[in-house]
């Protein structure tokens, strides 16, 4: 599998990656295209897509700063789910010295429980920390999310570093910035 950072001028690949992004995440959790393009220019943001030849396998968008990686988005082409591509993409992400942090929805239905189990099988640990993620769209509300980390459970200090980064840096690339800022939780 090859990981590519797609240039928006490569419209054939870009359009396929963007379509998967839009189909994989709820509207409130997605950036608008212009906001994504601004984030694309930030050297800490890695919007990668996974390919085998001309076939789009999935996408993995993450942020990297200090000793952390924040997995913001992971999606596998629906036609290829269940073939361990998601696990391979997580392995690619953790092939570094970084502490990896990600968030998932609270465990409110079968899908959210299966998502937690997927990450736990990949070695991620559910932390005792919660976090109110600011909305990416003006019409959306903040969401309380669960935090997972790899290779070990993060400390409260590491959690605070993560929340600070998301609330001060990642949010810059969301609709309505700077009006959507909130205090660190």
Whole-number pLDDT of residue 88 = 95
Per-position b or e across 147-158, b if 16+ CB within 10 A of its CB: bbbbeebbeeeb
Whole-number pLDDT of residue 179 = 52
Written as six digits, the tokens of 22 are 């839009």
Query: How many whole angstroms separate alpha carbon 160 and alpha carbon 174?
Result: 21
What are 106-114's contacts with CB under 8 Å, separation 24+?
Answer: 106/144, 106/145, 106/146, 107/146
Q: Which domain holds residue 77?
A: 2-173
Q: Is residue 181 part of a domain?
A: no
Number of domains in the chain: 1
Whole-number pLDDT of residue 21 = 96
**pLDDT tens per residue across all 185 residues of the chain:** 999 998 888 999 999 999 999 999 988 889 999 999 999 999 999 999 999 999 999 999 999 999 999 999 999 999 998 899 999 999 999 888 999 999 999 999 999 999 999 999 999 999 999 898 888 888 888 889 999 999 999 999 999 999 999 999 999 998 876 654 444 44
C-beta of residue 8 within 8 angstroms of C-beta of residue 37:
yes
Q: Is residue 93 part of a domain?
A: yes
Whole-number pLDDT of residue 178 = 61
Query: How many whole angstroms separate alpha carbon 116 and alpha carbon 40?
Result: 28
Question: Can you name the residues that pair with 60 across neighbouring β-strands?
Answer: 48, 74
Which CATH number goes with the domain that contains 69? 3.40.630.30
Which residue, among 87, 83, 84, 81, has the nearest Cα to 124 in the 3D structure?
A: 87
């Amino acid at each position: 599998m090859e990981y590519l950072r797609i240039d928006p001028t490569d419209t054939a690949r870009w359009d396929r990656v963007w379509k998967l992004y839009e189909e994989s995440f709820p509207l409130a959790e997605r950036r608008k295209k212009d906001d994504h393009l601004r984030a694309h220019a930030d050297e800490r943001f890695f919007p990668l897509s996974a390919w085998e030849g001309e076939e789009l396998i999935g996408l993995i968008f993450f942020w990297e700063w200090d000793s952390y990686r924040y997995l913001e988005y992971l999606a596998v082409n629906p036609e290829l789910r269940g073939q361990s591509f998601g696990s391979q993409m997580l392995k690619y992400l953790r092939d570094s010295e970084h502490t990896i942090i990600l968030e998932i929805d609270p465990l409110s239905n079968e899908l959210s429980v299966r998502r937690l189990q997927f990450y736990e099988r990949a070695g991620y640990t559910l932390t005792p920390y919660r976090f109110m993620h600011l909305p990416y769209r003006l019409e959306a509300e903040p969401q309380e999310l669960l935090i997972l980390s790899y290779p070990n459970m993060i400390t409260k200090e590491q959690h605070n570093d993560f929340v600070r980064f998301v609330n001060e840096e990642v949010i810059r690339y969301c609709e309505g910035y700077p009006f959507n800022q909130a205090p660190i939780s």
